[in-house]
Structure 1
Amino acid sequence: MTTLTSGVARAGGPATAWSADPYTVALRRGRGPLYLRRGDGWLLPLDVERWCEAPDGADRTVLDHCRGAVLDIGCGPGRLVSALASRGHRALGIDVSPEAVARTARSGAAALHRSVFDPLPGEGRWDTALLIDGNIGIGGDPAALLRRTAEVLAVTGSLIVECAQAEGGADVDERCEVRVADGRGGLGAPFAWARVGPAALARQAAAADWVPAGRWKAAGRAFTLLTRGAAAP
C-alpha cells in the first residue's frame, strides 16, 4: 500500500485553487500541460484534453451504468453531463470552478457553481452520482465525501467512483496537500486532496455503509460501482 499523509494548509481552499490560474487558463485553452503538484515536487498529470473532448470508450462504460437522475460531482467542462442529457437523463454538474461551469453551460448542459458540501438541489433524490477523473479526492477526506454523497443520493441510489491505480498493482491510499501547476512555474493555492485505489475505496466505503456492487477497467482506468448498504440485496 502506498500511503502519504501530510499537514493540510487551510489558506485558499479548493474553491480558490480551482477558480484561479493555471486551471482556468487550461480550461479556456482546452489543453494542458496541467498537474497536481505535491509539496515534495511529485506531479500528477491532469488530462485536460480528454476532459474537454467528447466521452471516450472508458467514459461510455460509466454512462452505461448510470440510471435515472444523475449528479456529476466535480463535472469539469461537462463532457459527461452533456452526454447524459443527450441520453435522456436528468443530469446536473457541480463544480467549484466558474470556468468549468461556464464551459458546461456553453455545451447546453446544466451545471452549478457549487461544492458538494454546499446545499444542493434534489438532496436525497438523486439516483446516481459520479466521482470521475479522481474526484474521490475532493476535500482530501474520502470518508467524509462518501458520507456526503449518501446524503445527496436516494436510499436506492448508486455512486460510481473512478479509482487511482499504482504501477505494480500496489494499493493507493494517499492524503496530501497539492497545488494546480502548469509545469512552467504557475501555481494555484494549496488545498487538500486524496488518491484512493479500489481496495482502499472498499475499506472507506464499508465505514460509510456503501457496498461495492461492481468493478471494471477500461482503457487503463478503474471504476467501482457502490450501492447503499441498506439497499443492497
Structure 2
Amino acid sequence: MSTAHHLAPPDGAEQLSLVTPAPWSTGDPYSDALRTGRGPLFLRRTDGWLLPLDVERWCAAADAVDLKVLGRCEGAVLDIGCGPGRLVAALAAQGQRALGIDVSEAAVARAARLGGQALCRSVFEPVPAEGRWDTALLMDGNLGIGGDPRALLDRLSQLLAPGGLLIAETAPVDVDERFSVQVVHHTGARDAAGAPFPWARLGTLALLRHAAHAGWHTVSQWTAGGRCFAALRSRRTSSSAEPPKSTAVISSQRARNRSPQSPVTDR
C-alpha cells in the first residue's frame, strides 16, 4: 500500500507530491501509542529483555533539554526518525527550516498536526535535498535505526552538505550492541507486538569510535537531564550534487553567514 504525502515548501514554492510506502500497519502497538500519546511501550529483544520507550515525552512539546539541542542546529535540519514531531514542530515555531522523516504513518500524521513538515520515509530511501542538509538529528535512540551504525553514518554523510553537523543522542551507558527487536505494548498479562526488525544501541564512546572509522570529526559531547549527546561533523569537503532545479523543497543556510531564504531543491 502506498500513500501520497504533500510537502508544502516555504516561500511560496511549488508543492511537491511524494508517494511513499506505508511500512507500518495502522494497528501496530507503536502507531496506537502515538495516537493516544501513552504507553507502556517497549522494545523487546528475542531473549525477553525490555527497553522502555518514552512515548509520553515524545508526544509532549519539546522540553528544555530538547530546546538546548535545537539551539545547536545549523541551517536546514533533517530530523531522522522524527516520531510524533515535537522537534520539527519546535524548529518550525522558531522559523527554522526543518523536515522530519519516519517510517510510521501515525508519527508523520501527528507531526503534521503539530505544524511540522514530515514525510513517511526511511532514511535509506531517497530523501529530498540529499547532500544539502546542514544538520541531521538522531534523537531518542535513533542511532539504532537499521541495526548497523556504520551503514547509518555512511548514509548520513550522503544526506548532509560537506562539513554538515550530526547531533545524536546516545545511550546513557557504555554499550555497543545489535539485536532484533519488536515494539510491544506490555501490560504483564497480554502483550501486543509488532513485527521484528534490526536495531542497535550505542553509548557515546561506541558512537565516537564508529564515527572516527567512518570519517567523522567529533565536535562535542555533553549530558543534560540524564540524557547523553554527541555532535559530529562530516569530513566530506566536496559534493557531486547537481545544481538545484526549480522545484523548491526546503530552504537551507549554508556556511557560517547563512541566509534563511537560500533555496534547496529536490533532485
| TM-score (norm. length: structure 1) | 0.89
Shift, 1:57, TM fit: 1.5
1:182 aligns with 2:185: yes
Moved over 3 A (4+): 15-20
Shift, 1:230, TM fit: 4.6
Inter-partner Cα distance in structure 1 for 2:108 and 2:68: 24
Higher relative contact order (CA 8 A, sep 6+): 1
- Greater strand content: 2
CA deviation map 1:167-196 (0-9, x unaligned): xxxx21010000001103110000000000
Larger Rg: 2
Task: Report the equivalent of 2:17.
Answer: none
Secondary structure of the corresponding residue to residue 71 of structure 2: helix
Task: Report the equivalent of 1:154.
Answer: 161
**Out of 17, 39, 61, which is 1:54 matched to?**
61
**Out of 202, 205, 213, which is 1:199 matched to?**
205
Q: Check the 8 A contact 1:17/1:180 in 2, yes or no.
A: no
Shift, 1:20, TM fit: 4.6
The one-letter amino acid paired with 1:174 is: E
Shift, 1:107, TM fit: 1.0
Shift, 1:156, TM fit: 2.0
Task: Report the equivalent of 1:220.
Answer: 226
Secondary structure of the corresponding residue to residue 206 of structure 1: helix
Inter-partner Cα distance in structure 1 for 2:58 and 2:26: 17
Inter-partner Cα distance in structure 2 for 1:20 and 1:164: 29
CA 1:144 to 1:18, structure 2 compared with 1: closer, same or farther past 3 Å?
farther
Shift, 1:19, TM fit: 5.9
| TM-score (norm. length: structure 2) | 0.77
Inter-partner Cα distance in structure 2 for 1:154 and 1:18: 34
Q: What's the Cα RMSD here?
A: 1.3
CA deviation map 1:32-64 (0-9, x unaligned): 000000111110000000001111111112111
Q: Check the 8 A contact 2:162/2:235 in 1, yes or no.
A: no
1:116 aligns with 2:123: yes
Inter-partner Cα distance in structure 2 for 1:196 and 1:138: 11
CA deviation map 1:87-129 (0-9, x unaligned): 1211000000000000011111100000000001000100000
Inter-partner Cα distance in structure 2 for 1:176 and 1:94: 23
Task: Report the equivalent of 1:86.
Answer: 93
The one-letter amino acid paired with 2:200 is: A
Unaligned runs of 5+ in 2: 1-21, 238-267
Inter-partner Cα distance in structure 2 for 1:20 and 1:192: 20
Q: Check the 8 A contact 1:57/1:218 in 2, yes or no.
A: no
Task: Report the equivalent of 2:105.
Answer: 98
What is the aligned-residue identity percentage?
A: 62
The one-letter amino acid paired with 1:46 is: L
- Greater helix content: 1
1:128-167 aligned within 5 A: 128-166=135-173
The one-letter amino acid paired with 2:195 is: A
Q: Check the 8 A contact 2:163/2:235 in 1, yes or no.
A: no
Unaligned runs of 5+ in 1: 1-14
Q: Check the 8 A contact 2:172/2:228 in 1, yes or no.
A: yes
Task: Report the equivalent of 1:10.
Answer: none
The one-letter amino acid paired with 1:150 is: S
The one-letter amino acid paired with 2:206 is: A
Shift, 1:217, TM fit: 0.5
What is the aligned length?
213
1:29 aligns with 2:36: yes
